Amino acid sequence: MAGARQDPLGMPAPVASPMAQARNVVLVGPAGSGKTTLMESLLTAAGAIARRGSVDEGTAVGDRDPAAIRQHRSVELAVATFGWGDVTITLVDTPGHVDFTGGLRAGLRAADSALFVVSSTDGVDAATIRLWEECEVLGVPRLVVVTNLDRERADFDETVAVCQRVLSGTVLPLVLPIHGDEGGVAGFVDLLDEQIWEWTQGEPRLLPAEPRHQELIESERAALIEAVVTESEDETLLDSFLDGDHVDVALLTTDLERAVARGHLHPVVGHAVTSTGVGSELLLDLIARALPSPLERPLPVVTHIDGSPAAPLECDASGPLVAEVVRTTSDPHTGRTCVVRVHSGTLRADAALHVSGHFPPRAGHADHDVDERAGHLMTLLGAQHREVPAAPAGAIVAVGRLAHAQTGDTLSDPGLPLVMEPWLMPEPLLPVALRALGAADEDRLATAVARIAAEDPTLRVEHAAGSGRLVAWTLGEAHADLLLERIRGRYGVEVEVTDLQPSIRATFRSPATGTGRLVRQTGGHGQYAIVDLEVEPLPEGAGLEFADRIVGGAVPHSYIDAVRKGVRMQMERGAHGGFPLVDLRVTLVDGRAHSVDSSDAAFEAAGAMALKDAAERADLALLEPLVTVTVDVPDEHVGAVIADLTSRRGNVRATHADGIGRTTVVAVVPEAQVSRYAIDIRSVTHGTGAFTREPAGYGPVPPSIAAGLLRGT
């Protein structure tokens, strides 16, 4: 009944083309919805693994990253390729947690359709809606799978009703559950062919519907068939159906695939994780017969590496080679392995490749172009790697020995190097300042973080201005925890998280004067320089303006540049509290020199001393970095968001309602107050809000806070 059964729904056999016989399907759903369990159940039904829940390294299909296992969640793509009849199915399991949206988007890029997984006991929450919208934006064809039907409180009908109410598009049940004598789901009624799939004897059987099921079928079948035949290329089919004529099941199934591929219909099926996996074989047949092949999905835009347009791609094994890295794993011992989706051409083992990465600004990965040679090609089944000589367009395989390839890179022929338009990555908004516990580990820490960032394009790494501290920008707390786990576990670097200090600056509130005296005379050459400065504040962003009003050569012209250099050095070094000085007009008004003991070094030091003296006399204003925070939130949470931003010393500049239930709030907030906003916004909006941030210059620190900073408290 498993992979050997060819045609249970009366459909024509698949065409012989490898691309037409491929199905690349991503599993999408919130954490805890049962994606990984469903994937194992499907693999068991297909005979690809021995049993669900296997912990054997050779058959386990979940995320095997040790850090992920310690966190008890999937954080990366897990890929499994296997056969079902004449069709090759590749399932791509994705993380459900919002902190790992990068993995979700990579999976959506790799696949041609999706199983959208909704738990019958948890229902549809904000996380589920967010994931649905991710699929909707990309136009990914979807089957909705209602899981956990074997659990208490499971309610298929209510889950479908909620999906229809809150998810966009046409969501209609394709099957209805049948309950056994002792309760629980024993099978499903297929509404298209009016047959029963049942598992009461441990193996699935396909039976004609009984009279007692007709009322159940009639309650839902009409709406489903109307939605299916609306997509038919036979314009008379809808009229025939509305007139009550019989509609051929083979035609219905063909039109079902067309409606799903176009994104006009999202059929709902069910699944129960029992010892027999009720619904698994039915779902495998639907994947093979109702989901699109790689030939039916548009491919991303491609350009030459100089940015000029290239001819549009087609999923053609004989076309130009274009493949894309959707996952990268690095191991200190075995090196780097890339999971690759081949979009065009044929990728061959040991072939010469051009590796190209051209990313948008602030992506965290530098543009690069390099030629490499591929290692072995392997299809994946969890931790199993099965070597293959070549991978045609539409295939998803692992490639070894690519030392420079990163997630998001394009692989192409060195004779015709091409670049695919990268998929949109979520912006990392939670900064984590890192410090190695041992001085000897500082270099190892930088290397470890760089290698992890090559795997994870949602991780951005920089050095904080002023302190030089290594800062990793992450998507949230779970993402940050995973980073720390990998640094410690994979690379053996002991690291701690330190406070991220905002780059406070200082400027003068009013003009001041200062004198710098360096008079050191000994038996030989000494040091002699006296400098008098006048200092005035300038508008924000003006930087340093340096001038001189020296009369009569009190300071020889040859030393004026040295004074300027000393002033600039002292501005960077800062005055009270070590805060750098900014936006000053500094005028050299007087000084004295010695014919023997004066030098550039002496006047440089005297210039710095004079500015420091002026700063000690002046009334200083501290300036803190500001950011413009733009929050997108449901209308019911606007008040809570505004109150929260105000409590962070934010200045709300605008609110814009879109008229369909969401509002954008724009505020300028001190940067120090939003360092953990990526976490806090989820709490304030119950996981329904999102935000972006942009630098907004500097603003004055309130006097009460500035006083403490200047005292070092």
pLDDT exceeds 70 at position 130: yes
Query: What is the CATH code of the structural domain delimited by 505-618?
Result: 3.30.230.10
Task: Give residue 180's pLDDT.
Answer: 74
pLDDT exceeds 50 at position 14: no
Query: What is the CATH code of the structural domain delimited by 302-420?
Result: 2.40.30.10
**What's the CATH number of domain 622-711, 3.40.50.2300, 3.40.50.300, 3.30.70.240, 3.50.30.30?**
3.30.70.240
Task: Give residue 249's pLDDT.
Answer: 81
pLDDT exceeds 50 at position 2: no
Task: Give residue 673's pLDDT.
Answer: 95
**What one-letter code names the amino acid at 311?**
A
The whole-number average pLDDT for the span 93-102 is 93
The helix (run of H) or strand (run of E) holding residue 556 is none
pLDDT confidence band for 482 (50 / 70 / 90): very high
Task: Give residue 359's pLDDT.
Answer: 81
pLDDT exceeds 60 at position 254: yes
Percent of the chain with pLDDT over 70: 92
The whole-number average pLDDT for the span 637-653 is 97
Residue closest to 444 by CA, chosen among 487, 481, 398? 487
pLDDT exceeds 50 at position 198: yes
Task: Give residue 248's pLDDT.
Answer: 79
The whole-number average pLDDT for the span 149-162 is 92
Beta-strand relationship, 527-537 and 512-520: antiparallel
Contact 26, 261 (CB under 8 A): no
CATH class of 22-296: alpha beta
pLDDT confidence band for 328 (50 / 70 / 90): very high
The per-residue pLDDT of the chain, averaged, comes to 88
Task: Give residue 202's pLDDT.
Answer: 74
Residue closest to 454 by CA, chosen among 484, 409, 489? 409
Task: Give residue 62's pLDDT.
Answer: 55
- Which conformational region is residue 671 in: left (phi greater than 0), alpha (psi within -120 to 50 degrees), or beta? alpha
pLDDT exceeds 50 at position 13: no
Whether 622-711 and 430-498 are alike in CATH topology: the answer is yes
Q: What digits encode the pLDDT tens for the residues 439-477?
A: 888 889 999 999 899 889 899 999 887 677 899 999 999
Tokens of 113: 């359709």
Task: Answer positive or negative: Cα dihedral of 446, 452, 454, 460.
Answer: negative
Q: What digits encode the pLDDT tens for the residues 497-523?
A: 998 888 899 999 999 999 999 998 766
CA 129 – CA 122 distance, rounded (Å): 13
* Domain spans of the chain, in order of start: 22-296, 302-420, 430-498, 505-618, 622-711
Task: Give residue 412's pLDDT.
Answer: 97
Task: Give residue 689's pLDDT.
Answer: 93
CA 406 – CA 355 distance, rounded (Å): 9
pLDDT exceeds 70 at position 574: yes
Three-state DSSP at 622 gives: strand
| Range of 193-197, 318-322, 419-423 with top mean pLDDT | 318-322
pLDDT exceeds 90 at position 649: yes
Residue closest to 325 by CA, chosen among 365, 381, 287? 365
pLDDT exceeds 90 at position 301: yes
pLDDT exceeds 70 at position 148: yes
| 139 Cβ contact partners less than 8 Å away, ≥ 6 residues apart | 263
pLDDT confidence band for 279 (50 / 70 / 90): very high
pLDDT exceeds 90 at position 60: no
pLDDT confidence band for 6 (50 / 70 / 90): very low
Task: Give residue 89's pLDDT.
Answer: 97
CA 10 – CA 378 distance, rounded (Å): 34
Tokens of 69: 């296992």
The whole-number average pLDDT for the span 540-557 is 93
pLDDT exceeds 70 at position 181: no
pLDDT exceeds 90 at position 12: no
Beta bridge partners of 620: 508
pLDDT confidence band for 4 (50 / 70 / 90): very low
Q: What DSSP string describes 292-351?
A: --GGGSPPPPEEETTS-B-PPP---TTS--EEEEEEEEEETTTEEEEEEEEEESEEETT-
pLDDT confidence band for 71 (50 / 70 / 90): low
Q: What digits encode the pLDDT tens for the residues 205-236?
A: 888 888 888 888 888 888 898 888 887 777 77
The whole-number average pLDDT for the span 686-703 is 93
The whole-number average pLDDT for the span 25-40 is 94
- The domain 430-498 having CATH identifier 3.30.70.870: the answer here is yes
